[in-house]
Each structure stands twice: as structure tokens, then as C-alpha cells.
Amino acid sequence: MAVSLLHAANLQKSYEGRVILDGLTLTLEKGRLYAIMGHSGSGKTTLLYLLALLETPDKGEIFWEGRSLLSLSDAEKAQWRNRHLGFVFQFFHLIAELRAWENVALPGVIAGQRFGALKAQALSWLERVGLAHRAKAFPTQLSGGEQQRVAIARALFMKPALVLADEPTGNLDTEQAQTIWTLFTQLVREEETTLLVATHNPTLAETADTRWLLRQGKLHPLTMQAPTPSS
């Protein structure tokens, strides 16, 4: 029987009078892959930021295993993110002053551990994404594909129950995008993680268990035979 991990109900969000999300509701079950498609500006990033508690909805509620998340204090929200959530940003968001392995280990440091105690674990993750040989490199010394693999290793470092990915291959060429996506979904399946990804790429989206189209502030079931929005 499927187990609900995260449930968002009636989410509403507007910016400068423009409605972005209009009573949106979704449920994410444990160990499943979800894809959201939609044109630029449709609200995909806004939705991910709300679910990550990085922004607050105007109305609505978000539940984690039945517990309200929006009622948490800022400190409790940060703790929840660190323990349960991995986020893969479109533009990598690596810390320029940290080496690759240190970027991967950063969630553990935020949780209160020291870099030195986490190095072996970080190196193990870099090996899993094929970058053990680049462990000491700084982000500026890495290609776009390498930076995204570091970001993926960082997102999965704490073995979160939920990973949110915002156009994780949007800044990569077609070959790199397919390689990264195959690796990413393989790791997520191995860890039995729930993944929600926002993407323009129908080829990537069709590997998901469930697909939605975000249009006019609401989610609509999407089959890959149906027309998909252009990027």
C-alpha cells in the first residue's frame, strides 16, 4: 500500500497581483518519481520553493507524514530541510570557496558535524557519481556536468526521504543531460527516495512514475502522448 510522504492542499501564491498557484493540491508517495512540466513562468520553481519551505504560500497547508510543516518555527523548518530534504538547483549553487568533497559534505556540517569526520562519506558519494578524481577541485575548475553531479551528491548526502529538483539538467547539453538524469534517477531508486522534478524535457519526464502539467496555477495529469509545452 502506498504511503503518503508529503501532502500539499489548496496552495495559493501570487506575486505583484499575478496569481502563480491557484488552489494547487498534490500528494507525494514514498519511493516514487514525479515530474512537473509547464512553460517558463508557469510556477514550477515557485511550487518547489513552497514545498521546500523556502517560501510561504498565501494560503494552503503542507503536511509531512501527516504533520503540518507551515506551523513550524524558522529553526524547525531549517532542521526539517536538513534532515529530510535534498534540493537540486538549476544553477548548481555550489560554494565557490569549498572543494568538491566539502560541497558534498556541507549538509552534514550544517547538521553539526565536522568536515573531517564526513570526508570519507563525501568521497564515497563522489565515487558514486563518477567524480572521485575531482574531489579536491573547486567549482570553478569543474565543467557544468561535473558541477551538477557534485550538486546531486550533495542533495543525496544525508539520504533524504524527499528530493526536489528544479530543471536539474537545464544548463547542460543533450548528451550531458541524459547522462546526469540516468545517474540521478538510478541513485534515487537505489535509495528509495521520493523525487519531484520540474523539467522542460519530455524525454526525461517520461521516465517518471507520475507526470503533471502545471497550467493556470493547477496541476493536470499528463500523458506523454499529449502535446507538451515548449521550453
Q: Is the pLDDT of residue 147 over 70?
A: yes
Architecture of domain 12-221: 3-Layer(aba) Sandwich (3.40)
pLDDT of residue 222: 86
**What is the share, in percent, of the chain residues with pLDDT greater than 70?**
96
Q: Are residues 45 and 166 in contact, defined by beta-carbon separation less than 8 angstroms?
A: yes
Place of cell 561535473: 146
Q: Are residues 56 and 8 in contact, defined by beta-carbon separation less than 8 angstroms?
A: no
Mean pLDDT confidence for 26-34:
94
- Name the residue with higher pLDDT: 4 or 119: 119
Q: What is the pLDDT of residues 182-220, one digit of tens each?
A: 888 888 888 889 999 999 888 889 889 999 999 999 999
pLDDT of residue 95: 96
Confidence of residue 2 (pLDDT cuts 50, 70, 90): low
Mean pLDDT confidence for 156-180:
88
pLDDT of residue 231: 40
Please state, rounded to an integer, the average pLDDT across all residues of the chain: 91
Q: Is the pLDDT of residue 230 over 50?
A: no
Hey, how many other C-beta atoms are within 10 angstroms of the C-beta on 46? 23
Q: How far apart are CA 197 and CA 215, in angstroms?
A: 16
Q: Is the pLDDT of residue 224 over 70?
A: no
Q: Beta strand pairing status for 210-215 and 218-221?
A: antiparallel
Q: Is the pLDDT of residue 228 over 50?
A: no
Confidence of residue 227 (pLDDT cuts 50, 70, 90): very low
| CA neighbours closer than 13 Å in the CB half-sphere of residue 128 | 24
pLDDT of residue 67: 94
12: CB partners within 8 A, 6+ apart: 19, 21, 22, 23, 24, 57, 58, 59, 60, 217
Phi, psi of 2 (to 5 degrees): -65, 140
pLDDT of residue 174: 85
**C-alpha cell at position 230:** 515548449
